[in-house]
Structure 1
Amino acid sequence: MEKLIACQQKSPNALCRLICFPWAGGGTSHLARWSSHFSNSVEVFCVRFPGRETRSKDPFAKDMTSMAKEIASVLLKELQAKPFAFFGHSFGSYLSFAVALHLKEKYGLEPFHLFLSAAHAPTVSYRIINSMKQNDDEEIIAYIQTLGGTPAELLCREDLKKDVVRTVREDFRVLQTFSFEKAEINSPFSCDITCFNGSEDTLHHLQAWQELTSGETSFYELPGGHFYLLEPSNEIFLIKHITRCIENAGL
C-alpha cells in the first residue's frame, strides 16, 4: 500500500480517514501535507498515481475504470475498517467519484462525504481539451501555464518539462475514458457532497452533483483560478470546512 498511498502522519487511533486525489499531472506532496492540519482523529491518505514519484517506473494507467479498481483494491481493507471521506481536485474529483462508485457497486461501501473541487458533474457533457493535439508538447505546456499551479522551474529545464508534459498527457488520456450515465443508477450515493470552485476558473457545471446523492449538497466559490486551493487562505478554508463536516458527521 505504501507505494500507492502517501501518509505523512499515521494515526492508528483515528476515527476516520480522508483520502485525497490530486489533479492531472500532480503528485502527493501538497495534499499529503494536509495531515499536519488535522487532529489525530483524522488520518490523511493521498493517492499516488502511476508514472510519478515512487511509481515512476510503473506504466501509466490505461483508463479510468482500471485506475479506480486498483485504488479500491489497495484501500479496501482500510476503508472497511473505519469511516472515510474523499477529497479530489479536478482530475482527482472524477477519479474519486469513479472509485466511490466502484466501492458502492461491488462492496456496498461509500464515503460519508465527497469533497469535489473544480469539476463538472459527470452527468453534464463537457470538453476536456478535445482540440488539443495530443503530440504537440508546446500546446500542452501553454494549457498548463494557463491553468497555473505548476512551478515555473519545472518548465524551464528540458528534462523536467518533458516529464511534466508526458504525465499530464497520460492523465488527460485517462480522463477522456471516463463516462457515467445516471440512467444506470438512480441516486448512487446517500452521502453529503461539497463542491468547491475558484471564482476565476472556468465555469464548472456543479449543480448537477446534487442529482447523484440523496444526501445534502453544498457549493462554495473561493477567490482564485483553477488552483485556488494552493492559496494559503483558501487552503485554511478548505481544511476548516472539511474538519467541520467530519465533526458534524457524528462518527
Structure 2
Amino acid sequence: MERLVTCFYQRPDAVSRLICFPWAGGGSVHFAHWGQIFDNSTEVYSIRLPGRESRSRESFAQDMDQIVTEITSVLLPKLQEKPFAFFGHSFGSLTSFATAVKLKEICGLEPVHLFVSGTSAPHSKARFSVHKKSELSEEDFLKWMTTIGGTPVEILQSKENLKMFVPVLKADLGVAEKFIYEKPSCSVLSCDITCFDGTEDVPHDLEAWKELTSGNFNIHMLPGGHFYLKEPANEKIIMDHITKHLETAGMDYL
C-alpha cells in the first residue's frame, strides 16, 4: 500500500478516512499534509499515481481503468474497515468518481461522501474542448499552464524542471480526455456529493453532478481561479465542510 498511498499522519483509531485524489500532474504530498489539520477522528490517505515521486520510474497510466483497478485492489481491505470519503480536485474528481463507481459495482461499497472540485461532471459535454490539452504544442501548452496558475514559478522558469513535470501532466490529461462516461439512466451512486469550485475559474458544469447520485447534493463557490483550494482561507472552508459531513456520516454509518 505504501507505493500507492502517502499517509504522513497515521491514526489507526480514527473513526473515518479521507482518501484524496491529485489533480493532473500532481503528486501525493499536498493532500497528505491535510492529515495534520484534521483532528484525530480522521485519517488522510493521499493517492500517489505512477510516474511521479517514489514511482517516477514507473510508466504513466494509459487509461482510467488502469488507475481505478490499482486503487480498488490495493485499498479495498482498508475501505472495508471504517467509513471513508473521497476528495478529488480537477482530474482527481474524475478518478475519485470512477473509483467510487467501481467499488459499488464490485462489492456494493460506497464512500459516505464524495467531494469533487474544479471540474464538470464526467458525462457533461462541457468537459470536452475543440483542442485537446495533451496534444497542444510545447509553446501553447506552457501558455495554458501559465493561465490556469497553480504551477510553481521554479518549474515554469526552468527547462529541466519542465522536462520532468510536463510529461506527467500531459499523461494525466490524456487519461482524462480518453475517459468517456455516458449519462446514466438512473443514479449510479447513493452517497451525498458536494462540489467546490473557484469563482474565477473557467465555468464548469457542476449541476450535472447531481444526476449521478440519489443522495444530497450541494455546491460551494469559493474565491479564486483553478487552484483556489491552495489559498489558506479556502482550504479551511473546505476542511470545515468535510469535517462536518464526516462527523454526520460517521454517526449514520454506526
Q: Structure 1 residue 179 and structure 2 residue 160: aligned?
A: no
Tell me which amino acid in the other structure corresponds to 1:25.
Answer: G
CA distance in structure 1 between the partners assigned to 2:5 and 2:129 by the alignment: 27
CA distance in structure 2 between the partners assigned to 1:129 and 1:21 by the alignment: 26
Unaligned runs of 5+ in 2: none
Q: Report how far residue 138 of structure 1 moved.
A: 2.0
1:45-60 matched pairs, under 5 angstroms: 45-60=45-60
1:5-20 matched pairs, under 5 angstroms: 5-20=5-20
Q: In the comparison of the two structures, how many residue pairs are matched?
A: 250
Q: Report how far residue 135 of structure 1 moved.
A: 6.1
1:60-71 matched pairs, under 5 angstroms: 60-71=60-71
Q: Is the 8 A contact 2:133 2:170 kept in 1?
A: no
Q: Report how far residue 16 of structure 1 moved.
A: 0.9
Q: Report how far residue 66 of structure 1 moved.
A: 1.3
Distance 1:56-1:191 versus aligned 2 partners, 3 A rule? same
CA distance in structure 2 between the partners assigned to 1:9 and 1:59 by the alignment: 28
Q: Which residue of 1 aligns with 2:189?
A: 189
TM-score normalised according to structure 1 size? 0.96
Distance 1:44-1:131 versus aligned 2 partners, 3 A rule? closer
Q: Deviations over 1:199-246 (max 9, x none)?
A: 000110011111111110000000000000000000010011100111
Distance 1:49-1:133 versus aligned 2 partners, 3 A rule? closer
Q: Is the 8 A contact 1:128 1:176 kept in 2?
A: no
Q: Which residue of 1 aligns with 2:161?
A: 160
CA distance in structure 1 between the partners assigned to 2:104 and 2:46 by the alignment: 20
Q: Report how far residue 186 of structure 1 moved.
A: 1.9
CA distance in structure 2 between the partners assigned to 1:112 and 1:20 by the alignment: 14
Q: Is the 8 A contact 1:133 1:139 kept in 2?
A: no
Please provide the CA RMSD for this pair. Answer: 1.3
- Partner of 1:149, secondary structure, is coil
Q: Is the 8 A contact 1:51 1:58 kept in 2?
A: yes
Q: Which residue of 1 aligns with 2:149?
A: 148
Distance 1:210-1:133 versus aligned 2 partners, 3 A rule? closer
- Partner of 2:104, secondary structure, is helix
CA distance in structure 1 between the partners assigned to 2:190 and 2:132 by the alignment: 37
Tell me which amino acid in the other structure corresponds to 2:11.
Answer: S
CA distance in structure 2 between the partners assigned to 1:117 and 1:45 by the alignment: 17
Q: Deviations over 1:159-203 (max 9, x none)?
A: 1111111111111111112111233x6211111000001000011
- Partner of 2:135, secondary structure, is coil
Distance 1:132-1:34 versus aligned 2 partners, 3 A rule? closer
Q: Is the 8 A contact 2:134 2:173 kept in 1?
A: no
CA distance in structure 2 between the partners assigned to 1:132 and 1:81 by the alignment: 39
Q: Report how far residue 57 of structure 1 moved.
A: 0.5
CA distance in structure 2 between the partners assigned to 1:181 and 1:38 by the alignment: 36
Q: Which residue of 2 aligns with 1:33?
A: 33
CA distance in structure 1 between the partners assigned to 2:241 and 2:35 by the alignment: 15
Percent identity reads 50
Tell me which amino acid in the other structure corresponds to 1:113.
Answer: H
TM-score normalised according to structure 2 size? 0.95
Tell me which amino acid in the other structure corresponds to 2:99.
Answer: V
Q: Which residue of 2 aligns with 1:244?
A: 244
Distance 1:61-1:101 versus aligned 2 partners, 3 A rule? same
1:78-89 matched pairs, under 5 angstroms: 78-89=78-89
Q: Which residue of 1 aligns with 2:112?
A: 112
List structure 1 runs of 4+ shifted beyond 6 angstroms.
none
Q: Deviations over 1:138-175 (max 9, x none)?
A: 22211111110010101222111111111111111111
Q: Report how far residue 128 of structure 1 moved.
A: 5.0
Q: Which residue of 1 aligns with 2:24?
A: 24
Shifted more, 156-165 versus 55-64: the winner is 156-165
CA distance in structure 2 between the partners assigned to 1:8 and 1:133 by the alignment: 32
- Partner of 2:218, secondary structure, is strand
CA distance in structure 1 between the partners assigned to 2:7 and 2:112 by the alignment: 20
Q: Which residue of 2 aligns with 1:127?
A: 128
